Structure 1
């Protein structure tokens, strides 16, 4: 089955398409509108955005204008990382829905366990617990079918598991060949949390690696196709992004299988772009 048509079943029973279209760093306006339109035309049925991306209005307009039934497009957005007060959750959720022009989300994520300007400086356990409880209420009230987190490490996940009754459906993290976060993946797997991969191409950092280019050539594939397929074969949901129609379409050509030997090589690969992954806001 075409991965764009296949689904994973989340721990709450909701089905999510196994490949999503990411919109991080795609500017609001015609660029975001066209990119999402290209993606829907190419067969994507899973669109990922965030309040902080600043492009929700164009993303939502593209989804609405394309004209598919709402039930056929899985839409994700994210609560800003700076929101660490429960009382602010509903206000931002309502604003996101207004921006998108939708009456509900399919997945709503806490964008990070810390405000961006304080990443890694301390744990925000009590604040995340309080915000998560409000996320649960938002789900119960129908604002989003599923709820989850992004950029949470094993400690942050365990904090929620220890203090709340609803397990996050998803943890969206930076993940690519050479940077696969095994500790987070192990913690997520034990709890039944699906890992989503933003920047599965390392924000372009892996595209010109000779070894990957040679391997991709053996499969009559591009490096982006190899990288996306790598995520899928590891049971991770990739969120590739592109703005040109040609690249959007090319990233859907995933009808090949990486051999076990090549997967072992890829899983053992060193980080090809170590300067990037601690400085991103995907």
Structure 2
């Protein structure tokens, strides 16, 4: 397992299992168990995914010691604010059946609501109290990060953003790198999968005898991003993890970087629904 060291010294696996839109109950439990069996040690969920209980059961049934796993969850938009964030965290922890989470994130900034500073300050309290090992954000633009760092004490360890070859996020990545904040890519294979049919990606995949998805995941890893591909299919869960036995050349990385067309599949952070 390849890890990165976050700005607070905590080590985090560079690849994890995302569980957005994974059905709660047995489906979530089985997906988590399968991923852990393959070798994943990082699982990324969120309150709004409504599958924290199933994820927690999968963790429990995996038989792997808790300290060997890295578990992430997130506070949803409707729970933003200091007191409501603390309450939401306690509910997530109970559903997961855990004593702590490794990483707690603000899911969206929702600038129209203007509560992300109070929300983050609540997360700082959870961090100080030892209930979380690290805190960070999702979907924050440069302006949101600048304000957060100016008004809060604990620098976020990462910013989880939509990122794939058709949405390279190069300016935001550069800002995060300069400030010691890792980028974590959600929807790393692009919703709808168009990037997996791109000729450049497919040609590189053919060269290495790999799947296009494996090439794209490798691109994320070599871009120094953390990546959380989602799947409930055992063969795909295993395939997405089988990316440590080849390496893209500098020219291949450049070719994939040049595919950027600023094509979002999710909403722009400033346009996200408040609730």
Given the two structures, how large is their TM-score scaled by the length of structure 2?
0.93
Q: Structure 2 stretches of 5 or more lacking a match? A: none
Q: How do residues 141-152 of structure 1 correspond to structure 2 at under 5 angstroms? A: 141-152=129-140
1:33 to 25, 29, 35: 29
Does the C-alpha gap of structure 1 residues 184 and 48 become closer, same or farther in structure 2, counting only changes over 3 Å? same
> What's the offset of the Cα at 1:279?
7.0
Q: Is the 8 A contact 2:104 2:135 kept in 1?
A: yes
For 2:104, what is the secondary structure of its paired residue?
A: strand
Aligned residues: 268
Does the C-alpha gap of structure 1 residues 10 and 270 become closer, same or farther in structure 2, counting only changes over 3 Å? closer
Q: Residue by residue, what CA displacement relative to the aligned partner does 1:38-87 show, whole Å, maximum 9, x if unpaired?
A: 10010000000000001000001000111111100100000112233111
Q: Which residue of 2 aligns with 1:138?
A: 126
Q: Residue by residue, what CA displacement relative to the aligned partner does 1:138-168 show, whole Å, maximum 9, x if unpaired?
A: 1111211000000001011001111112100
Q: Distance in 1 between matches of 2:195 and 2:161?
A: 17
Q: Which residue of 2 aligns with 1:184?
A: 172
> What's the offset of the Cα at 1:124?
5.0
1:164 aligns with 2:164: no
Q: Which 10-residue stretch deviates more, 208-217 or 232-241?
A: 208-217
Q: Distance in 1 between matches of 2:68 and 2:55?
A: 15
Q: Distance in 1 between matches of 2:180 and 2:210?
A: 32
Q: How do residues 41-190 of structure 1 correspond to structure 2 at under 5 angstroms? A: 41-114=37-110, 122-125=111-114, 127-190=115-178
For 1:211, what is the secondary structure of its paired residue?
A: helix
1:259 aligns with 2:249: yes
Q: Distance in 2 between matches of 1:241 and 1:65?
A: 20
Q: Distance in 2 between matches of 1:167 and 1:81?
A: 21
Q: How do residues 262-281 of structure 1 correspond to structure 2 at under 5 angstroms? A: 262-271=252-261, 274=263, 276-278=265-267
> What's the offset of the Cα at 1:130?
1.4
Q: Structure 1 stretches of 5 or more lacking a match? A: 115-121
Q: Distance in 2 between matches of 1:146 and 1:79?
A: 14
For 1:145, what is the secondary structure of its paired residue?
A: strand
Q: Which residue of 1 aligns with 2:184?
A: 196
- The root-mean-square deviation of aligned C-alpha atoms, in Å, is 1.6
Given the two structures, how large is their TM-score scaled by the length of structure 1?
0.91
Q: Is the 8 A contact 1:93 1:143 kept in 2?
A: no
1:213 aligns with 2:196: no
Q: Distance in 1 between matches of 2:123 and 2:264?
A: 33
